[in-house]
Chain A
Amino acid sequence: MLLLPCPNCGPRNVAEFRYGGEMHPRPPAPEAVDDEAWTDFIYMRANKAGRHREWWYHHRGCGLWFLAERDTTTNTILRTYLPAQPHGS
């Protein structure tokens, strides 16, 4: 069983959470980007084999959206934390 530490609730079974995908910050001024850059933002992903940052939602718990740093090759959770800005950082 994989345990994911919720910043509010501590380590919980990963089944309590919903995966929110890799963190890919929204362009700061969406109206200023061209179609290609917007397509990159919507569809393209780094999909990294190794350490990356991602969103999680404590769906069957406290309802918190937070960020985690995880190694996708081993599923080791390196840390979980609250975003500094609404769209992540």
Chain B
Amino acid sequence: MWRHHDLAPSYDVVIIGGGVHGLACAYYLAQDHGITNVAVLDKSYIGAGGSGRNTTILRSNYLTPEGVVFYDESLKLYSQMAEEFDFNVLFSRRGHLTLAHTDGAVRTMRRRAEVNRLQGVESWLIGPNEIKRLCPALDVSEHPRYPILAALYHPPGSIIRHDAVVWGYAAQADRRGVHIHQHTTVTGIRTANGRVTGVETTRGFIKTGAVLNATAGWATTIADMVGVRLPIVTYPLQACVSEPLKPFLDVIVVSGSLHVYVSQSDRGELVMGAAVDPFASYSLRGSLAFAEGIAGHMLELFPALRHVRMLRQWAGLCDMTPDYSPIMGLTPVEGFFLDVGWGTYGFKAGPISGRCLAELIATGHTPPLIFPFRLARFYERDLVGEKGAASVGH
């Protein structure tokens, strides 16, 4: 679906990171702006990082107006993707339930519902009877330690096949002339007089005036190469799937209090994720503490699953920022752009951030949709506090 190329001596744009974000940016540079002399570099195979490790949940029911409009644009691009690419990405609109187990959580859900509706996003509060109707397997009784009081219902919430999204963008970018270089590690970035002049890689030097850092887990390592400091701390996040079961769960269920989110894939596996690990690390090693924790919490929600076995578990790296919002746009180094700090919410934002970064790189103007997420916000005391909306209590 995409070809192998020799490394060209120069490119107009070099994108570091061959995940959904980097490949989407390459695609929109070519599709929207006619810029095709673009290289996407990945130190592994494309989609090996966060793009292949997330739990594929798409939604736009965030807490801040900035977040809601941004993620909603992404959800729209995802919903049109199969048609646009003529490629089945298994997009599946499921409906999304964020459970509230405390009065405080109910209050937050109510506020999110109002913020969402003001931005034209379908989202409202429902009680236990309606929850039971949408998801009969959930225990909505008062027996659990944290009974379910209400839920934020977000009908547009969807899942998609994440690998197919990566392959779709890669194939479409390749068709338009973008070079995808897998197993190509960036070892340095050259600058002169405060602007980017090239990228050093394990396969040779590339001359370029525009570099996009679209990595997760290595965002600070790459930014260090040009002396840009980031407010990022990298944490692993673990997820797992169960053995395949007959279809019984057609909604996506999230519980912030219990640190669990779950959906059932088309193969019948329950795809389950948790909060980030309790300490910062770049290690992708799984832990028994995670497996025990998520199994216990799943059983509080779905007691009938007590005989179900876990099939596999894995970890991905999450670049957490202080305000739980990403960092996109310009840096003090001319020609060095950021698409980083994607914490636990990067996959769902891939299409729209790719499109906005492509516009910024092509035109030099920051699209209004991503302006709130600039790096300078930390120096201007203009943070975008998204903590209350993160699907898992951090």
Contact = CB atoms under 8 A, between A and B. Distances in A.
Given A36-B379, A39-B379, A49-B221, A44 B281 contact: no
B185 to A, nearest CB: 13
B283 A74 contact: yes
A87 interface: no
A73 interface: yes
Given A73-B282, A74-B283, A49 B218 contact: yes
A73 B282 CA distance: 5
Interface stretch (B100-108, B193-201, B204-212, B231-239): B231-239
A39 B220 contact: no
Interface in B279-296: 279-283, 285, 287-289
B258 to A, nearest CB: 18
B280 A47 contact: yes
A6 to B, nearest CB: 15
Given A15-B289, A36-B379, A45 B283 contact: no
Given A43-B231, A43-B378, A19 B221 contact: no
Given A15-B289, A21-B280, A72-B281, A45 B231 contact: yes
Interface string A63-77: 000000000111100
B322 interface: yes
Interface string B169-204: 000000000000000000000000000000000000
Interface residues of B, number: 22
A21 B289 contact: no
Nearest to B284: A73
Given A45-B232, A47-B234, A22 B280 contact: yes
B132 to A, nearest CB: 35
Contact of B229 (A1, A21, A40): A40
Residue of A14, A21, A47 with most partner-chain B CB within 10 A: A47
Interface of A: 1-2, 14-15, 18-19, 21-22, 35-36, 39-40, 43-49, 54, 72-75
Given A15-B289, A19-B278, A39-B379, 8 more contacts: A1-B287, A39-B378, A40-B229, A43-B378, A45-B230, A47-B220, A47-B280, A72-B234
Interface of B: 218, 220-221, 229-234, 278-283, 285, 287-289, 322, 378-379
